[in-house]
Amino acid sequence: MQAVFAYLYALAQLVDGFIKAGSDLKNAALKSDIGSTIGAVLKPAYTTLIALEKEADGKLTVELIPCNGHHSVTPSATQWGDIFGASSPVLQLQCSASSRYRYQSTGMQHWQAFNKAYTVIASAITGVVTVLPAIE
């Protein structure tokens, strides 16, 4: 899991780099579109991802989940808000306390939330990367 989280955070850094001042991307309309994608699509997905990582911290072994590994990633576009900093999100997945399968139920909720966030991130970044050669 550590490698998956690290990969996804590296993708956030990559996309962030496209819209930074001084980036090689010169097309202002595309920069604006990427910024909109960050704010409208990627920020909510990464908010879930960060919260899932924090929720898993301490519940799985260190070999599987890094301890808040996103802190080494510092995307700085304003569209991210401060989800990689002081406003780092927390996730509270609820399941019935009376459930005999509480652990499995919570694990399944985490997996479903991770899968949804991953799918959104992969789709958005694929869309961004696909249009780059055609526009630049």
The ranges assigned to domains in the chain are 2-135
Based on the number of CB atoms within 10 Å of its own CB, is 118 exposed (0-12), middle (13-18) or buried (19 or more)? middle
Share of the chain above pLDDT 70, in %: 74
* Confidence band of 91 (pLDDT split at 50, 70, 90): low
Does residue 18 surpass a pLDDT of 80?
yes
Does residue 25 surpass a pLDDT of 80?
yes
pLDDT single digits (tens) 33-87: 999 999 999 999 999 998 888 877 656 544 444 444 545 668 889 999 989 888 8
pLDDT single digits (tens) 92-102: 655 444 444 45
10 Å Cβ neighbour count for 100? 8
Instruction: Identify which has the larger pLDDT, 75 or 134.
Output: 75
Q: Is the dihedral of CA 22, 24, 28, 33 positive or negative?
A: negative
